[in-house]
């Protein structure tokens, strides 16, 4: 299979498998924005669409208005920093994986609100009760150490793995015992919920956490995340939105998008597609004998390959070199999304197969 059969227009730019936010929004979402565009609405989140979206999300969670408040913010960093700042006192600290998004991808946003991060190593990309317990114990030197008060986890994790109900139940129980709040970053909660490994409902997650948020940006929306806050913690939350510039005048933009995502099962359909594309890529790598660094449970594939192979692939596809290993191998991250074109996935897999075979032949001879 010659290269030309894969990309007939030689000038075509590399196809991006870099992240899950390279495209705009799912067409249905744009149509919803068009459809609702001309009505006059109350500003700052008081619009009918945001109300409707909040109710639809509550329905999915199977919770009442008395149990949870829901707030829309424009970005994941907003969701994290506002959630954390809203429920900690100034001397309280956050426990997070050292690979946590707030620890290494948000430019110090949490510290900028005044709070210390306590870093814990990951196991399969996840927080374990053992490591959590140890971190709590090591931060008890009163009053010289900031007081651990909130556990931050992501589901799916930074390496695409998902928490099982047992794992989250255990973490949640330990948090309650140690007086820690539990915040789940759900930037990719859609793919987590649609993972074959998942055994939790939204209600489970709601019950086992204090705050969790549902990512829209990586799930087919233009932007926007929905923060679900237990009633006991939601007083004054809107002030935080406003104070951090996250309370949009036209709150309807986020309301309409979440309304559309949850009106039917669009949110889940899109995540399921993303996962399926990743699985296809992952299966191909495994079949060809490449080593997966993390199990492919959602829409991210972490795979080891020779640097040379990665470079050749990068002529056709855009993706991150995640790590440089000592032996000339690299770890590559492939991310699929609601928008990933299956034809491109097939091409990607074909190229991987072709070049892997060529490399083997070369090595053998």
Binding residues for a second copy restricted to 41-80, rule: CB under 8 A = 41-44, 73-80
Asked if residue 259 binds a second copy (CB under 8 A), the reply is no
38 binds a second copy (CB under 8 A): yes
Give least dist CB 114 to a second copy, A. Answer: 5
Q: Is 239 in the site for a second copy (CB under 8 A)?
A: yes
Shortest CB 8 distance to a second copy, Å: 18
Cβ distance to a second copy smaller for residue 84 or 153: 84
The stretch near a second copy (CB under 8 A) out of 88-96, 265-273, 280-288, 298-306 is: 88-96
Taking CB under 8 A as the criterion, the residue among 6, 51, 113, 349 binding a second copy is 113
- Beta strands 15-16; 92-97: pairing state: unpaired
| Interaction of residue 85 with a second copy, rule CB under 8 A | yes
- Is residue 16 a contact residue for a second copy (CB under 8 A)? yes
Closer of 168 and 248 to a second copy (Cβ):
248
Question: What span, in angstroms and rounded, lies between the C-alpha atoms of 16 and 317?
Answer: 6
Pick between residue 63 and residue 281 the one whose CB is nearest to a second copy: 281
Residues pairing with 185 in the sheet: 154
* Least Cβ distance, residue 328 to a second copy (angstroms): 19
Nearer to a second copy, 82 or 192 (CB): 82
Percentages of the chain per state (helix, strand, coil), in multiples of 5: 45, 20, 40
Is there binding between residue 114 and a second copy (CB under 8 A)? yes
218 binds a second copy, rule: CB under 8 A: yes
What is the closest distance, in whole angstroms, from the C-beta atom of residue 73 to a second copy in the complex? 7
Among 5, 10, 64, 249, binds a second copy (CB under 8 A): 249
CA 303 to chain centre: 19
- Pairing between β-strand 147-154 and β-strand 92-97 as defined by DSSP bridges: parallel
**Residue among 10, 66, 89, 326 that touches a second copy (CB under 8 A):** 89
119 binds a second copy (CB under 8 A): yes
3-state class (DSSP) for residue 94:
strand
For a second copy, the closer CB: 16 or 169: 16
Instruction: List strands edge to edge, sheet with 329-335.
Output: 291-292, 300-306, 329-335, 320-324
How far is 289 from 292, CA to CA, in rounded Å?
Answer: 9
- CB neighbour list of residue 328: distance below 8 Å, 6 or more residues apart: 306, 307
Task: Identify residues 133-162 at the interface with a second copy (CB under 8 A).
Answer: 139, 141-147
Q: How far is the CB of 235 from a second copy (least distance, A)?
A: 9
Contact 301, 295 (CB under 8 A): no
Query: Should residue 37 be labelled a site residue for a second copy when binding is judged by CB under 8 A?
Result: yes
Of 178-186, 189-197, 231-239, 272-280, the segment contacting a second copy by CB under 8 A is: 231-239
Write out the two tokens for 73. 């913010």
Residue closer to a second copy (CB basis): 73 or 334:
73
Q: 278-337: which residues touch a second copy (CB under 8 A)? A: none
The greatest distance separating any two alpha carbons of the chain, rounded to the nearest whole angstrom, comes to: 72
C-alpha–C-alpha distance, residues 26 and 270, integer Å: 9
Which burial class, exposed, middle or buried, applies to 14 when counting CB atoms under 10 A from its CB (0-12, 13-18, 19+)?
Answer: middle
CA distance 22 to 15: 10
- Rounded CA-CA distance 52/258 in Å is 9
Q: Kind and range of the H or E element at 229?
A: strand 225-230
Using CB under 8 A as the binding rule, whether residue 231 contacts a second copy is answered as: no
């Amino acid at each position: 299979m010659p290269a030309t059969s894969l990309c007939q227009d030689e000038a075509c730019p590399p196809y991006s498998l870099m992240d899950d936010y390279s495209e705009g929004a799912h067409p249905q979402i744009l149509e919803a924005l068009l459809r609702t565009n001309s009505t006059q609405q109350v500003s700052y989140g008081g619009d009918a669409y945001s109300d409707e979206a909040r109710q639809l999300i509550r329905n999915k969670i199977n919770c009442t208005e008395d149990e949870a408040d829901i707030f829309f913010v424009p970005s994941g960093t907003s969701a994290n920093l506002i959630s954390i700042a809203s429920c900690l006192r100034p001397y309280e600290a956050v426990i997070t994986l050292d690979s946590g998004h707030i620890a290494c991808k948000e430019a110090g946003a949490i510290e900028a609100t005044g709070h210390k991060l306590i870093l814990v190593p990951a196991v399969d990309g996840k927080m374990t009760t053992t490591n959590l317990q140890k971190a709590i114990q090591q931060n008890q030197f009163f009053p010289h150490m900031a007081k651990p008060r909130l556990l931050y986890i992501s589901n799916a994790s930074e390496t695409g793995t998902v928490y099982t109900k047992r794992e989250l139940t255990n973490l949640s129980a330990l948090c309650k015992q140690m007086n820690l709040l539990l915040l789940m970053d759900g930037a990719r909660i859609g793919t987590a919920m649609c993972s074959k490994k998942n055994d939790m409902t939204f209600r489970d997650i709601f019950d086992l956490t204090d705050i969790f948020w549902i990512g829209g940006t990586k799930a087919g929306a233009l932007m926007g995340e929905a923060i679900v806050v237990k009633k006991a913690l939601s007083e004054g939350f809107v002030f935080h939105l406003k104070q951090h510039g996250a309370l949009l005048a036209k709150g309807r933009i986020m309301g309409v998008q979440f309304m559309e995502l949850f009106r039917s099962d669009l949110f889940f359909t899109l995540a399921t597609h993303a996962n399926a594309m990743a699985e296809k890529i992952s299966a191909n790598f495994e079949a060809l004998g490449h080593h997966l660094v993390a199990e492919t449970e959602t829409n991210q594939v972490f795979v080891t390959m020779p640097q040379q192979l990665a470079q050749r692939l990068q002529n056709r596809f855009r993706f991150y070199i995640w790590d440089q290993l000592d032996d000339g191998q690299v770890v590559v991250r492939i991310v699929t999304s609601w928008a990933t074109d299956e034809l491109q996935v097939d091409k990607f897999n074909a190229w991987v197969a072709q070049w892997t075979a060529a490399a083997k032949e070369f090595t053998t001879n």
